[in-house]
Structure 1
Amino acid sequence: IRDYYTAHGENATFIAKAYYHTMTALRQLGGNSDGISSVSVSRAMFETIARNLLLDRTDHTLELYEGSGSSWRLTKSGTPGNIGSFEDILFANNDMQFSPVTVALFPVFRDGQLYVALSFVDMTNRKLGLAEFPEDSRFTNVESALVALGCKECLLPADFEKSIDLQPLQDAISNCSILLTERKKAEFKSRDLVQDLGRIIRGSVEPVRDLLSQFDYALGALGALVSYAELLADDTNYGNYTIEKFNLDRCMRLDSAAVRALNIVEGKTDVNKNFSLFGLMNRTCTAGMGKRLLNKWLKQPLIDVNEINNRLDMVQAFAEDPELRQGLRQQLKRISDIDRLTHALRKKSANLQPVVKLYQSCSRIPYIKGVLQQYNGQFSTSVMTRFLSSLEEWLTENRYGRFANLVETAIDLGQVDNGEYRISPLYSSDLAVLKDELSGVENHINNLHMHTATDLDLSVDKQLKLEKGPFGHVFRISKKDEQKVRKKLTTNYIIIETRKDGVKFTSAKLKKLGDQYQSLLGDYTSCQKKIVDNVVQVSCTFSEVFENFAAIISELDVLQSFADLAISCPVPYVRPDITTSEEGDIILQGSRHPCVEAQDGVNFIPNDCTLARGKSWFQIITGPNMGGKSTFIRQVGVNVLMAQVGSFVPCDQASISVRDCIFARVGAGDCQLRGVSTFMQEMLETASILKGASEKSLIIIDELGRGTSTYDGFGLAWAICEHLVEVTRAPTLFATHFHELTALANKNGDQHQHVPDLGIANYHVGAHIDPSSRKLTMLYKLFIMIMSLFSIGSCVQKVEPGSCDQSFGIHVAEFANFPEAVIALAKSKAEELEDFTSAPNLSGEPSDEVGSKRKRVFSPDDVTRGAARARLLLEDFSALPLDEVDGSKATEMVAKLKSDFENDAASNPWLQQFL
């Protein structure tokens, strides 16, 4: 560990700008004109830079060199997908909340269809995977796979054939904030792959061969990944990896837009952990393991009803039994990150510390088994099947028992509390001699401790403490006691440092004894080295035991965390009823947004949401600005996702039909570095919905079409709604300020004429701002105005929409303290535009042009009837036998159609605009 580091050239400039925020941190080496920029980086700043580059930004690699003069060598290298070299720095004081994954992709055309071959490696958990799946032009499946895997780095062939446009693929990778690394196409090869995998995969090679035979192009992607990650170069990988087939259809698909819209993971600007679903639900006890599993579950919600209910059974068991929950919590909080300890154990530099910590953590598992055995509730059989049987299997004498015996026999556990990890002196006569000498020095140090306390008139341990640290053996007293003994302290002792927690000092005798102790400890370490290596090596053979314990414990941790969240909220969560995607509806009674209601000072009013097939399957939601439309539609998505993760939901009652995908188009920002405008980004995200959504999906769209002109935006919004209603047929929440879209409800079917009901319903939201306190109350209370067409005899009874026809944007501006002059002018111009039938000339002079450009608003009935008549015109025109008659007859037939259309348009203002 160095005290400082340096960076040079462009790297120095980047660090100065990005981290020091000033170019004055730079200095020139070799003169100002032809010199090279350089910057010094302290150890603390280096750790900050490493965390930011590899964990947050994920768009850089990091390399560390050592040497002097002209001789330098690369000692560490890290990428967002392979952080192994820097793990000790990145997670020294923080839990590892995710397992970085590197993915290799290889697109290919097969039988006229675009396919993508995918492979991935998780070097933390030592896992490999493969997949091949069909793809569309927007690479929506690839994006969902990258999200589900938690990918941090992606390999692509650099010299790819021009028949495939890779720009949409690169955009999908960029959307997920993933580092793109290009490799030569020649590296994507499968030669000798079976032989290579046979060296690193655990178990027999035959199952590996059978798995690989199921793929054509994914083998090349896996070959590139094995080569890039240099898995064969590290012999600690041999026999420790597992391999699996990655099935994208086994979980709910989420793209990057949905992850952002639903605030699933923590954002870089979040000032409160409750801003994200992960932060809110992260109440786990174990260091890292539970957090990583929670992260994975949130990105891979289940679609199997039985598995969802199995998780819900466990959450209900923990929620209903406080003793079970408290007993588990007491044991789980004493368990370290078994996955990371196992990973550390496999390193060539491993010592006894991870061995001891694994022993200490695993020693809590029999107590966890005992807690679970005491549970006799309605889900006791499920607890036995899911957890107890597995624990009993791995706690046998031949598995965990052998490891425990090894540690208890080989390691001196009595010294662990002192921070020392030694082989037991019973293993060797030389170690026994050194142990006696160490004990003798310790006795002298303890006697000196008591003598010094008497000399300073302080009590042993309570006032005068003996500690070991970077300075060796030292005494420490509080700053208050230091004032009492300052004269003796400065005369007879050596003060090392003064801090808030006290004053550390030593003496000539203590320093001599401390040096003697460190020398003997060094001899002990050298003498035990071979034994330590053997103990570590044997401990590695129990990796499978540790991995299975980690899987069981992390799942228990997350499920009890779900239970704790469900019962600790001011309004407890409830268990949702889960149905298959082919049946049932999405019914949320008294639903709330879990992250919003968790914020301080928020008065959140629950809402009901019923997405019922044929009745309210497609909901158009209007309402004023800040009325809560966005929050409402998001909270429905969040509730569905939480239910399919296996958590209780913030509702009074909930019934959820499983969804295979959540699509969300909520807000869009400029992507100027990619040459993509706000509106273009909005259209790209919407195109992904139109191409990728099915009737089993859930679609959430907010303010579509606002990035262009009113007419174009409304036209696009209407057309997209029609497509989603008539073609996609997925449950949809569509929030908009285009109040004219509420006329779509008139397209609902006529049951007496055997026309299927499209299930279009209108809703609106309201908001209230208290003028005295200037505090916004988030009503988010949905006033239901379902517009259904019911037939009575041969008549159609119309139900007036009652939808919100104002946005109250100026009112919101008033409460934002806009200048009065600006508010007054805004109201004036709004009033001018509201009179769309006889609007005054803004210039004061007569002009047909000004009037023609005035915004016109039509009644929903006029729009519906007019659109139907326009379609009839096009159908009649298409049916004309124009190729069978002469010119005069054709002209006559068209004139008749035009005349009939003009007559009908005379009573319809919407049609008149086209004449």
Structure 2
Amino acid sequence: MSALRQLGSSSDGILSASVSKAMFETIARNILLERTDCTLELYEGSGSNWRLTKSGTPGNIGSFEDILFANNDMEDSPVIVALFPACRESQLYVGLSFLDMTNRKLGLAEFPEDSRFTNVESALVALGCKECLLPADCEKSIDLNPLQDVISNCNVLLTEKKKADFKSRDLAQDLGRIIRGSVEPVRDLLSQFDYALGPLGALLSYAELLADDTNYGNYTIEKYNLNCYMRLDSAAVRALNIAEGKTDVNKNFSLFGLMNRTCTVGMGKRLLNRWLKQPLLDVNEINNRLDMVQAFVEDPELRQGLRQQLKRISDIDRLTHSLRKKSANLQPVVKLYQSCSRIPYIKGILQQYNGQFSTLIRSKFLEPLEEWMAKNRFGRFSSLVETAIDLAQLENGEYRISPLYSSDLGVLKDELSVVENHINNLHVDTASDLDLSVDKQLKLEKGSLGHVFRMSKKEEQKVRKKLTGSYLIIETRKDGVKFTNSKLKNLSDQYQALFGEYTSCQKKVVGDVVRVSGTFSEVFENFAAVLSELDVLQSFADLATSCPVPYVRPDITASDEGDIVLLGSRHPCLEAQDGVNFIPNDCTLVRGKSWFQIITGPNMGGKSTFIRQVGVNVLMAQVGSFVPCDQASISVRDCIFARVGAGDCQLHGVSTFMQEMLETASILKGASDKSLIIIDELGRGTSTYDGFGQCCIAFLVFLLQVC
């Protein structure tokens, strides 16, 4: 990086620094993917004339996707959430709307809320929110400080907008342009909400969805239910090490890093990320996932066969997204064709399975794949590609329209072939003239210099006299000498001119092919959903069988019955570290007997690890994974709340003890008799007597009464 210098000579000038392209890409990834306190704007120009060409936020990275993921997988789908708090008859309500631009999805929800905004916190975690829109001038009776604390704790960028931006006028009409299908179901959905419509209008305006006609007819909208998944607060996400952190020494430090054995490029990682933040509550759904994992665990050939095929699948979601860009070319079309052409092999592998879960595999995976592979769906796209694109040129790294697809292209292709034949004949004649073997000693290359001959320095010394007399040396490098003559230069110029005409002629045809390919988006989206789920489930099986001590399938019971019994349980991340000989522990939470437990012991005795591993095992089970235990029986929990570690917040005038009390208050407001609550050393922010006597005991008594 160079030294700082000022852009502009007036007092309004700003400090700047010149960086390399690689450094800029690193900075962009840091701002948009890791930090949540900055936005990024890209200007182009010189002198005093600069114009904004790109802008991005952690929630809206679309403009910078090509930079961010040129050499990296897209592991998460950033979501923007808009909130509108309102107070009616002394009850606080929150209207929520979210936008997932990667998956082109909108959602709405509204719900009563407590003073600590515990429901909002759970929703931000479950949705994977990266940015939150909030009206700058809410009702004065509503204290927004706790909400702002929640947004900060969830590591979400807060963007305040004018209250006037939260409008619902003409909302149904606007949505009718971008939502796939009829507008009537959209009207029926909107009629169910009072407070969520303003946030939805704010999202449409903020993301400028209506300004981009490639969005038209490509979005879906849904009603979001907070009770569909296990609720997690931000403290639980940190305590259980669910997400990867900057300071992780290796990938096994986090639950995501440990469980990520996915093969597809990006798709499986994003789904795993979402599943870890949205553990299931329905016993049947959990058992369906566990059945699939068991099938893969018991059949290594099935698992390995799938892994080999899934490794050849590109990121279908992102390729589909690329088709909708106005600058799209043939590359995503071809890659989609190549990736989806692997599906018959995946079907064949799944069809060979004849175990006890064959019916589930057929209904869950085979039937959807067969439906979307039909001739009137993927078959039509396959025919388009095979007819319109010259697949033989892919070996040369070129994406061309087939000359058979257009008569004008056919004529130009014939002319190009004639010139190519002349160039190849000249190659043979030149080799004979210099007494060199074709290709082995004298090579013909095509690049930025056009068509040129190349030979090694050793060969150049042998023919130097003839070379300097009849040929023109263009370049001398370590890898050899490049040269040409008048005939080759004329033929190369002819070829470049014809190729330019060919490229111009095919540009319109390319646009038509890309546009028609975009109409198959629904096919690709369904393929991506099936393949990414297969990828994550086989990843769970691979983890369960490859650990030092294999994982076991947990027995799942409904939340109002059964107990939590973990025999020989281990912490999956800790036991995966090198040099660690983990000592298993039993945990027996029995209703009416040991449903509530206090763990005591000396420092460094493993108390914190034990309570964390209980939460991790329950989370993994409800995600649908096997668990690191000798035997496990788990009653489904509706949420996991955690208070592990504490720190003060001096900027807000909050001491360590006060911070503990605020977090504890949030737990008490959100917990139910079906919750799993993990508390580590409550009250240590003050004296031992006060912390244990006045705080800890009072909290435990109240918790026992509530839960």
How many Å apart are 1:623 and its aligned residue?
Answer: 1.6
Q: Which residue number corresponds to residue 506 of structure 1?
A: 482
2:688 to 696, 706, 710: 710
Partner of 1:245: 223
Measure how far apart 1:186 and its partner are: 0.8
The residue that corresponds to 1:236 in the other structure is 214
Q: Deviation of residue 118 (structure 1)?
A: 0.2
Moved more, 429-438 or 353-362: 429-438
SS of the residue aligned with 1:211?
helix
Give the whole-Å Cα distance in 2 for the aligned partners of 1:177 and 1:490: 67
Unaligned runs of 5+ in 1: 1-19, 730-915
Q: Please say if residues 341 and 358 of structure 1, whose CA atoms lie closer than 8 Å, have aligned partners that are also in contact.
A: yes
Match of 1:202 among 180, 184, 192: 180
> Taking structure 1 as reference, are residues 332 and 466 closer, same or farther at Cα in structure 2, changes over 3 Å only?
farther
Aligned to 2:567: 589
**Using the alignment, how far apart are the partners of 2:435 and 2:566 within structure 1?**
71
Pair 581,514 (structure 1): closer, same or farther in 2 beyond 3 Å: farther
Q: In the aligned structure 1, how far is the partner of 2:463 from the partner of 2:541?
A: 55
- When residues 633 and 445 of structure 1 are mapped into structure 2, their CA distance, relative to the original with a 3 A threshold, is farther
CA contact (8 A) 2:436 2:442 kept: no
- Contact 1:474 1:504 survives alignment (8 Å): no
Aligned-pair CA distance for 1:460 = 4.2
Conserved 8 A contact 1:456-1:485: no
Distance 1:597 1:172, change over 3 A: same
Superposed CA offset, 1:538-560 (max 9, x none): 11111111111110111011111
Deviations 1:237-284 (Å, cap 9, x if unpaired)? 000000000111000011111111111010011121111111111111
Match among 330, 343, 346 for residue 324 of structure 2: 346
Q: CA deviation at 1:680?
A: 3.0
For structure 2, the residue ranges without an aligned partner over 5 or more in a row are 468-472
Distance 2:20 2:113 in 1: 47
Aligned residue identity for 1:275? F
Q: Tell me the distance in 2 between the aligned counterparts of 1:511 and 1:602.
A: 67
Which residue pairs with 2:285 in the alignment? Answer: 307
Q: Deviations over 1:814-863 (max 9, x none)?
A: xxxxxxxxxxxxxxxxxxxxxxxxxxxxxxxxxxxxxxxxxxxxxxxxxx
Matches within 5 A, 1:725-804: 726-729=704-707
Q: Which residue is 1:720 aligned to?
A: 699
- State the secondary structure of the residue aligned to 1:274: helix
Summarize deviations over 1:668-705 as a string: whole Å, max 9, x none: 23444444443333222222112111111111111221
Shift of 1:527: 0.4
Report Cα offsets for 1:338-376 as digits up to 9, x if no partner. 100110001111111111111111111122112111111
Of 387, 390, 409, the match for 1:431: 409
Is the CA contact 2:460–2:481 (under 8 Å) kept in the aligned structure 1?
A: no
Question: Can you list the C-alpha shifts for 1:91-137, whole angstroms capped at 9, x where unaligned?
Answer: 00011011111110000112321111000111111100000011111
The percentage of counterpart residues that share the same residue type is 82
Question: What is the CA-CA distance between 1:68 and the residue it aligns to?
Answer: 3.4
Matched, 1:215 2:193: yes
Alpha-carbon distance in 2 for matches of 1:603, 1:421: 54
Who is 1:735 aligned against? none
Q: Does 1:655 align with 2:633?
A: yes
TM alignment of 1:172-321, pairs within 5 A: 172-321=150-299
Conservation of the 8 A alpha-carbon contact between 2:427 and 2:438? no
Kindly provide the CA deviation profile for residues 174-213 of structure 1, in whole angstroms up to 9, marking residues without a partner as x: 1111111111101111100000000100000111111111
- Structure 2 residue corresponding to 1:137, chosen from 102, 105, 115: 115
Q: Secondary structure at the match of 1:706?
A: coil
Letter in 2 for 1:50: A
Query: Contact 2:419–2:494 at 8 Å: present in 1 too?
Result: yes
Aligned-partner residue type, residue 314 of structure 1: M
- Residues 590, 653 of structure 1: 8 Å contact kept: yes
Q: Counterpart in 1 of 2:364?
A: 386
1:37 is aligned, of 7, 12, 15, to 15
| Contact 1:475–1:504, Cα closer than 8 Å, also in 2 | no
Q: 2:105 aligned with 1:116, yes or no? A: no
- Other structure's SS at 1:397 match: coil
1:775 — aligned with what? Answer: none
Query: How big is the shift at 1:457?
Result: 7.0
SS in structure 2 at match of 1:120: strand
Cα pair distance change 1:326/1:36, threshold 3 Å: closer
TM-score (norm 2): 0.93
Query: Deviation digits for residues 413-445 of structure 1, max 9, x if unmatched?
Result: 111122111111012232123223333454566
Give the direction of change, closer, same or farther, for the CA distance of 1:281–1:441 in structure 2 (3 Å limit). farther
CA distance in 2, matches of 1:397, 1:70: 57
Compared CA separation, residues 580 and 528, structure 1 to 2 (3 A) = same
Distance 1:631 1:574 in 2: 20
Does the 8 A contact of 2:452 with 2:484 survive in 1? no
Letter in 2 for 1:723: F
Contact map agreement 1:264 1:277 (CA 8 A) in 2:
yes
Q: RMSD of the TM alignment (CA)?
A: 2.5
Give the letter aligned to residue 483 of structure 2.
Answer: S
Alignment of 1:858-873 (within 5 A): none
- Equivalent position of 2:620 in the other structure: 642
Deviations 1:459-480 (A, max 9, x none): 947x988776666667899xxx
Residue-pair matches, total: 697
CA distance in 2, matches of 1:490, 1:657: 84
Answer with 1 or 2: which has the greater Rg: 1
User: Is the CA contact 2:646–2:685 (under 8 Å) kept in the aligned structure 1?
Assistant: no
Structure 1 pair 32/524, CA: closer, same or farther in 2 (3 Å)?
closer
Partner SS for 1:197:
helix
**Secondary structure class of the residue paired with 1:41:** coil
Structure-2 change in CA distance of 1:425 and 1:595 (3 Å): same
Query: In structure 2, how many angstroms separate the alpha carbons of the residues matched to 1:452 and 1:122?
Result: 60
Is 1:166 the counterpart of 2:144? The answer is yes
1:474·1:505 contact (CA, 8 Å) conserved in 2?
no
**Following the alignment from structure 1 to structure 2, what is the Cα–Cα distance between the partners of residues 680 and 124?**
40
> Does residue 25 of structure 2 align to residue 47 of structure 1?
yes
Separation in 1, partners of 2:11, 2:88: 57
Structure 2 vs 1, CA of residues 508 and 613 (structure 1 numbering), >3 Å: closer, same or farther?
same
In the superposition, relative to structure 1, how do residues 378 and 114 fare at CA in structure 2: closer, same or farther (>3 Å)? Answer: same
Alpha-carbon distance between aligned partners in 1 of 2:384 and 2:223, rounded to the nearest angstrom: 36
- Tell me which residue corresponds to 2:587: 609
User: 1:890 maps to what in 2?
Assistant: none
Aligned-pair CA distance for 1:643:
0.4
Take 2:102 and 2:463, find their aligned partners in 1: how far apart are those partners?
51
C-alpha spacing 1:308/1:496, structure 2 compared with 1 (3 Å): farther
- TM superposition shift of 1:38: 2.8
Separation in 1, partners of 2:643, 2:438: 68
The corresponding residue for 1:691 is 669
TM-score, length-normalised on structure 1? 0.73
Q: 1:169 to 1:512 in 2, by over 3 A?
A: farther
- Following superposition, the deviation at residue 631 of structure 1 comes to 1.1
What is the 5 A alignment of 1:351-430? 351-430=329-408
* Structure 2 Cα separation of the partners of residues 262 and 115 of structure 1: 30
Q: Secondary structure at the residue paired with 2:333?
A: helix
Mapped partners of 1:449, 1:563: distance in 2: 56
Name the CA distance, whole Å, in 2 between partners of 1:516 and 1:423.
Answer: 20
Following superposition, the deviation at residue 34 of structure 1 comes to 8.8
Secondary structure of residue in 2 paired with 1:117: strand
- What SS does the corresponding residue of 1:59 show, helix, strand or coil? coil
Q: Cα–Cα, structure 1 residues 448 and 77, in superposed 2: closer, same or farther, change >3 Å?
A: farther
The superposition leaves residues 1-53 of structure 1 with CA deviations (integer Å, 9 ceiling, x where unpaired) of xxxxxxxxxxxxxxxxxxx5xxx711245669996533222212211111111
- 2:602 and 2:453 map into 1 onto residues whose CA distance is 68
- Describe the SS at the equivalent of 2:327: coil
Structure 1 residues 40 and 178 mapped into 2: Cα distance closer, same or farther (>3 Å)?
same
